Amino acid sequence: MHTHNPRRSLKARTTGKWKQQAKKALIPGYGKKGMGWIRNPKKAAYNKIYRKTTFSIWGLFK
């Protein structure tokens, strides 16, 4: 079961649109789909399996 981290959730919600636009303009490949497989394939494989096998408690109520 996936446990939520309130600090990370808040950080994800408050990261500004301008900050993401600046990174996208400066860093080639930032925010592009599939970049994780190029940069760190071991981590990308782990994350893919983790996302398919874990569930959130809130998902049970939907």
Q: Which structural domain, as residue segments, surrounds residue 34?
A: 6-61
Q: Which pLDDT belongs to residue 12? A: 79
Selected residue with higher pLDDT from 15 and 24: 24
Q: Which pLDDT belongs to residue 44? A: 95
Tell me, yes or no, whether 30 lies in a domain.
yes
Tell me, yes or no, whether 1 lies in a domain.
no
Contacts of 37 (CB under 8 A, 6+ apart): 44
Q: What is the total count of domains within the chain? A: 1
Tell me, yes or no, whether 18 lies in a domain.
yes
pTM: 0.55
Q: Which pLDDT belongs to residue 26? A: 94
Q: For the segment 24-57, what is each residue's pLDDT rounded down to a tens digit?
A: 999 888 888 888 898 899 999 999 999 899 887 7
Q: For the segment 2-14, what is each residue's pLDDT rounded down to a tens digit?
A: 777 888 888 878 8
Tell me, yes or no, whether 44 lies in a domain.
yes
